Amino acid sequence: MMLAHDSTASHSITLAMTFGALAAFVAAWASRPTRSFAPVAWFSGATIALGLSSLPSFEAAAAKSFAAHMVQHLVLWVIVPLAVVKAHPVLVLRRAGLRPPLQSGRITHGHPLTMYASIWFLVVGTMYGTHLTRFYDLALHHQWVHDVEHLVYLGTALLLWSALLSGPRSLAPARFGLAGAVTVPLVFLGIILTTADIPVSSVYLDRLGLTHAIADQRVGASLMWIGLMAAMVPVVIASVWRWAGHEQQIAKARERRESLHSQEATT
């Protein structure tokens, strides 16, 4: 859980919560350990990244710079949720004898395409709504809004990365479509932020001045592009690879059926 804060006390609370979650995860994994230590490594990485991004110095930098704030958001939107998903927490909890409400490899019940469309709407709507509206300034002025913003980022990102990295091969085309459908509008958002003549935040305008605020915003938008491409391109490649593998399996199964029918016909 990510809480924005500006004091040592609130930072200590955040660290206690995040490392408490790590301790609980390790305990669940240790109750029925597997040969692979990867889940613990991934979850530890997520915890460390979360803790570092919530340092008071990081929070202070994010309050003064759009670029620094964008780095913090990338940690929440890419690094932490990706590491959490790779840790397979649902499987770890199930092996420990617990029954989480989520099924392994699935986020929710219902048709996958409906689920993916809902995730797209949440992710894209959140990114546009928090970057191109007054919400951005509200988050800088009010800590509770900042808290909500970070929680929403983390929650929607967990949904997105869970959908992109899990599921059967038959859903590879849908995952490819979801990755592309998310990437295009977010790249366009980066273009808007890069080419804007006015900073999206009046806070940065007041603190940095027009020239420096625009330059800072362009750096932040460039970081958004780099982070987005670094995260999404491997996912797209993997989706295409799994898609091709699934189609190859279908083709081989069809050939076996045709061969069997041919043999039966000749006999």
The predicted structure's pLDDT at residue 75: 92
The predicted structure's pLDDT at residue 157: 92
Average pLDDT for residues 152-177, to the nearest whole number? 84
Q: Are the CB atoms for 25 and 65 separated by under 8 Å?
A: no
Q: Are the CB atoms for 19 and 51 separated by under 8 Å?
A: yes
DSSP-derived secondary structure for 128-166: HHHHSSTHHHHHHH-HHHHHHHHHHHHHHHHHHHHHHH-
pLDDT band at 1 (very low <50, low <70, confident <90, very high): very low
Percent of the chain with pLDDT over 90: 19
The predicted structure's pLDDT at residue 179: 86
The predicted structure's pLDDT at residue 212: 93
82 Cβ contact partners less than 8 Å away, ≥ 6 residues apart: 161, 165, 231
Residue 266 has pLDDT above 70, yes or no: no
Give alpha helix (H) positions in 75-142: 80-86, 89-95, 112-131, 135-141
Task: Give the span between the Cα atoms of 226 and 186, in whole angstroms.
Answer: 12
pLDDT band at 156 (very low <50, low <70, confident <90, very high): very high
Looking at beta carbons, which pairs linking 17-23 to residues 24 or more positions away fall under 8 Å? 18/47, 18/50, 18/51, 18/54, 19/47, 19/51, 21/47, 22/47
pLDDT band at 4 (very low <50, low <70, confident <90, very high): very low
Q: Which of 167-176, 188-197, 217-226 has the lowest mean pLDDT?
A: 167-176
Match 């929607």 to its residue by tokens: 156
The predicted structure's pLDDT at residue 108: 45
Average pLDDT for residues 145-162, to the nearest whole number? 90
Other Cβ atoms closer than 10 A to 189? 19
Average pLDDT of the chain to the nearest whole number: 80
Terminal CA-to-CA distance of the chain, rounded, Å? 66
Task: Give the span between the Cα atoms of 143 and 193, in whole angstroms.
Answer: 24
Which amino acid, one-letter code, is at 2?
M
State phi, psi for 47 to the nearest 5 degrees. -65, -45
Q: Are the CB atoms for 153 and 73 separated by under 8 Å?
A: yes
168 Cβ contact partners less than 8 Å away, ≥ 6 residues apart: 105
Task: Give the span between the Cα atoms of 167 and 172, in whole angstroms.
Answer: 8
Average pLDDT for residues 1-24, to the nearest whole number? 66
Task: Give the span between the Cα atoms of 85 and 158, in whole angstroms.
Answer: 7
Q: Which of 45-49, 93-97, 244-248 has the lowest mean pLDDT?
A: 244-248
The predicted structure's pLDDT at residue 146: 85
Model pLDDT for residues 58-114, shown as the tens digit of each residue: 888 888 899 999 999 999 999 999 899 888 877 777 776 666 555 444 444 456 778
Task: Give the span between the Cα atoms of 23 and 32, in whole angstroms.
Answer: 15
pLDDT band at 218 (very low <50, low <70, confident <90, very high): very high
How far from chain centre, in Å, is Cα 172?
A: 18
How far from chain centre, in Å, is Cα 155?
A: 8
Average pLDDT for residues 238-243, to the nearest whole number? 66
pLDDT band at 3 (very low <50, low <70, confident <90, very high): very low
The predicted structure's pLDDT at residue 51: 84
Residue 6 has pLDDT above 70, yes or no: no
